[in-house]
Amino acid sequence: MYRLDPTRRRSAGFSLVELIVVLVILAMMAAIITVNWRAILPKTELHSAVRDLAATLQTARSESISRNSTWHVQYDVDKSLWRIVTPYREGGVLALVEDERVALPWKSLPDSVRFQAITVDGVEYAKGLVWARFDPIGTASTHTVLLVQPATETRYTIEVQGLLGLIDYREGVWVRPAPREDDFK
């Protein structure tokens, strides 16, 4: 017959104190991860919005070149929306007047991101509807889009160079310096 030795201590399982210590450590780790995630998420939304809008601008430029027609990007500054407006009317035929043009669905910025200002051909717009043009030869309306994330005061500038139609973006408020005479020597 097997007898338990009273001097021998049971080693199976965990004590209540050990379990509570482990739970407290896990709760502290979860709190740290949650705080860091909340700090990272807004910046991720801003970066995603910048890339999405830049991709839309590149699409409008590419389509205008490949289809040999003028395409537009329309911004609604008040509602933080944008969309592409094609040169076609319903049925795929070129539109004869602006009102016939088919517009693609609106895209929206994340809730944490807003348009601060859009400058087209030297005129700054802080509200209302704004149009930018992309031509078949690759040129575009010279314009910049300034996005802001009010919670963090982080800004990004998306620039469309008029002569080349190239699209670039930079963190912060950025304005292309005016050319100097030395640039052409």
Rounded to whole angstroms, how far apart are CA atoms 2 and 92? 91
19 or 179, which is more confident? Answer: 19
Q: In whole angstroms, what is the distance from residue 77 CA to residue 3 CA?
A: 83
* 118: in domain: yes
**Residue 184 vs residue 159, higher pLDDT:** 159
163: phi then psi, degrees, rounded to nearest 5: -65, -40
Mean pLDDT to the nearest integer, 161-182: 88
Residue 4 lies in a domain: no
Q: Does a structural domain hold residue 173?
A: yes
Please state, in angstroms and rounded to a whole number, the distance separating the CA atoms of residues 153 and 115: 12
Q: Who has greater pLDDT, 19 or 68?
A: 68
CB atoms within 10 A of CB 60: 26
The reported pLDDT for the residue numbered 3 is 60
**8 within some domain:** no
Domain with 143 in it: what CATH number?
3.55.40.10
- Give the domain range for residue 89: 16-184
For 88, residues 6+ apart whose C-beta sits below 8 A from its C-beta are 94, 95, 101, 102
Strand order in the sheet with 143-149: 123-125, 114-120, 143-149, 154-160, 167-171
Better-scored residue on pLDDT, 183 or 164 = 164
Quick check: is 10 in a domain?
Answer: no
3-state secondary structure of 159: strand
Domain assignment present for residue 171? The answer is yes
pLDDT above 60 for 1: no
Nearest to 113 by CA among 82, 91, 144: 82
Using the predicted structure, report yes or no on whether residue 10 has a pLDDT greater than 80.
no
The confidence score (pLDDT) of residue 134 equals: 96
Report whether pLDDT(74) > 80. yes
pLDDT of residue 40: 58
Q: Could you tell me the sign of the dihedral formed by the alpha carbons of 150, 124, 49, 86, in that order? A: positive
Q: Is the pTM of this model over 0.85?
A: no
Q: What is the count of structural domains for the chain?
A: 1
Asked whether residue 5 is assigned to any structural domain, the reply reads no
Check pLDDT > 60 for residue 39.
no
pLDDT, tens only, 119-162 = 999 999 999 999 999 999 999 999 999 999 988 889 999 999 99
Give residue 6's pLDDT band: very low, low, confident or very high (50, 70, 90). Answer: low
Find all residues with CB under 8 Å of 82, minimum gap 6, and list them: 53, 56, 73, 74, 75, 76, 106, 107
99 lies in some domain: yes
Q: Read off the pLDDT of each residue in 163-182 and give the average, rounded to a whole number.
A: 87
Say whether pLDDT at 37 is over 60: no
pLDDT at res. 5:
59
